[in-house]
Copies of this chain bind each other. A is one copy, B any other.
Amino acid sequence: MAKKKIKMTRERGHRQRASGKLIEMGKEVVSDIEKVHPPKLKMPSRSTSNIIYDEAHRYFVLGPRYGLRSAGSMKQVKKFAQLLCTADFAKELIERGKFATLREMYYTAEGWDAGPFSDQGESDLIIEDLEATCGLKREDLGLTPEEDGAAVFGKLVVNEDGVVIDATKAGRAGYTIPPTIDDVEFLKCKAKRVIAIETMGMYHRFVQEQAWKKFDALVVGLKGQAARATRRFLKRAHDELGLPVYLFTDGDPFGFHIAMVVISGSAKLAYINHELAVPDAQFLGVTASDIIDYKLPTDKLRELDVARLKQLLKDPRYNTKFWQSEIKKMLELGKKAEQQAFSKYGLAYVVKEYLPAKLGLKS
């Protein structure tokens, strides 16, 4: 490892901004108290009726409705106090440059006057309240989930707190995206695109067949549904590095969903999709047409698959000619196929034949 002098960390703008928002929130509360008013906080409504698909941005956002949380209401005073305790805990984490898992925060609350949470679901909801109130990701507040993000292999060099990591030299399993991806600085990137892959089996195939080299790609192993850190990584790779993002998933409703959550975000996270969604990401997964064209081994659609596909037909995110036609074709066919089904033609086929054809790199 070259002992180059690297500045210790990328500008922690997001964490300073988070700290500022928390202080602002605290001042509002103090000001109410000084006026001898019961303190209250304005909070965007996250109810289904306030979640809107934004056609211009091409992802879900919150609508204009707000609610008030007030210490003057007997029903709300406990939650109000818990929100302030959580904000205080987050502030300390930011100041000390630390992180805590959602689970640790749940147990930490055992020591609060505002009382322990009855389960983690309750403390997670308070954290969501805080995210929505401040318009910040919980990661910026120092609160992270348990799981790490995806694996990355390819010509990318990053700086994590002064440690330089080359994503071709972090091991065969790749560089693991940490929950704190916003602290990571992109130092150098020679890749020209990102190919994100649903299963780790296919990810390892891509690494083994050196697809990252052949296609000048950052190969990303999503491990199923992409973690928030992974989605943030993909967005940053697209926006900061200017790389097109391709999504290679199984040919089934779950695979479509995995891709679409990267592209257009989820409804549940409407209040934070502007930091996560990659509307220009392109679906490169197995389609009903592929099943026919490549004579792939298939499984029959289960009842649940059929119901899910019919839902997708009505989902605004799938309201394009491509999706409508492919979903209908899959319903007619009554079959689905996994990305590893290409192994029927040999292990390297997917990298040598399918992918170049899909990417339009083949005559």
Q: Which A residues lie at the B interface, using CB under 8 A?
A: 1-2, 98-101, 103-105, 107-108, 110-111, 116, 144, 146-149, 151, 158, 160-161, 163-166, 168-180, 199-201, 204-205, 208, 297, 338, 340-347
Residues of B within 8 A of A180 (CB): 172
| Complex Cα gap A343–B180 (Å) | 20
Copies in the complex: 2
Closest to A96 in B: B347
| Complex Cα gap A179–B163 (Å) | 26
Q: Are A110 and B169 in contact (CB under 8 A)?
A: no
Residues of B within 8 A of A176 (CB): 151, 170-171, 173-174, 176
| Complex Cα gap A170–B170 (Å) | 5
Q: Are B340 and A107 in contact (CB under 8 A)?
A: yes
Cβ contacts A to B, 19 pairs, < 8 Å: A98-B208, A100-B343, A100-B347, A101-B204, A101-B340, A103-B338, A104-B201, A104-B347, A107-B342, A108-B347, A146-B199, A148-B200, A158-B171, A160-B172, A163-B168, A163-B169, A171-B178, A172-B178, A173-B177
- Given A169-B165, A175-B170, A176-B151, A344 contacting B110 (CB threshold 8 A): yes
| Complex Cα gap A169–B180 (Å) | 16
Q: Are B110 and A297 in contact (CB under 8 A)?
A: yes
**Contact of A116 (CB < 8 Å), options: B98, B105, B200, B297:** B297
- Given A100-B347, A176-B176, A344-B111, A1 contacting B201 (CB threshold 8 A): no
**Contact of A343 (CB < 8 Å), options: B108, B165, B171, B177:** B108
**What distance in Å separates the Cβ of A319 from its nearest Cβ neighbour in chain B?**
33
Q: Are B169 and A1 in contact (CB under 8 A)?
A: yes
**What distance in Å separates the Cβ of A4 from its nearest Cβ neighbour in chain B?**
11
Closest to A104 in B: B343
Q: A98-B208, A103-B201, A104-B343 are in contact. List 12 more A-B contacts (CB 8 A).
A: A2-B2, A98-B347, A100-B347, A101-B204, A101-B205, A104-B201, A107-B340, A107-B344, A108-B347, A146-B200, A151-B176, A172-B180
**What distance in Å separates the Cβ of A91 from its nearest Cβ neighbour in chain B?**
14
Residues of B within 8 A of A168 (CB): 163
Residues of B within 8 A of A200 (CB): 146-148
Residues of B within 8 A of A173 (CB): 148-149, 176-178
| Complex Cα gap A104–B342 (Å) | 8
Residues of B within 8 A of A164 (CB): 169
**Contact of A171 (CB < 8 Å), options: B170, B204, B341:** B170
Q: Are A101 and B178 in contact (CB under 8 A)?
A: no
Q: Are B165 and A175 in contact (CB under 8 A)?
A: no
